[in-house]
Amino acid sequence: MNRSVERLALFGGLLAAFGEIHPFCDHWAQGSTTAKCKRFYGEHLVYLDGVTVGEEKTPRAAAPTMTASARGRRAAALHVASLGVREVVIPAPLVLRQVSGRALE
């Protein structure tokens, strides 16, 4: 078989596997606060748990705040960093074990 076809098949297989792993990891490994906060946007102030300043049920005088956009960026960065660990580092030994069974050219 042509090497290009083999490589394309490997790429398609990996893409399909990681495409199925991503939603699973999002559902089980991502915290609910991160999932909620990664879509935040705006200049209004929020607490680290995503509650808008002024809408809290208990006083939080000493709790740190930031803009909603900053909290959204922080949550998105955490999501991407943990995504790399879950989808690339963890399955890598399995992929390498399958690929190392034959000589690579």
List, in order, residues 6 or more apart from 27 with CB less than 8 Å away.
none
pLDDT of residue 1: 58
| Per-residue pLDDT at 105 | 44
Looking at residue 20, its amino acid is E
Give the integer Cα–Cα distance in Å for 51 and 46: 5
Residue type, 10: L
Distance between CA atoms of 18 and 26, rounded to whole angstroms?
Answer: 12
pLDDT (tens place) for every residue of the chain, 105 residues total: 578 888 888 888 877 777 777 777 676 777 788 888 888 999 999 999 999 998 988 888 889 999 999 999 999 888 888 777 766 666 556 555 555 555 444
Note the pLDDT of residue 104.
Answer: 45
**Confidence (pLDDT) at 69:** 96
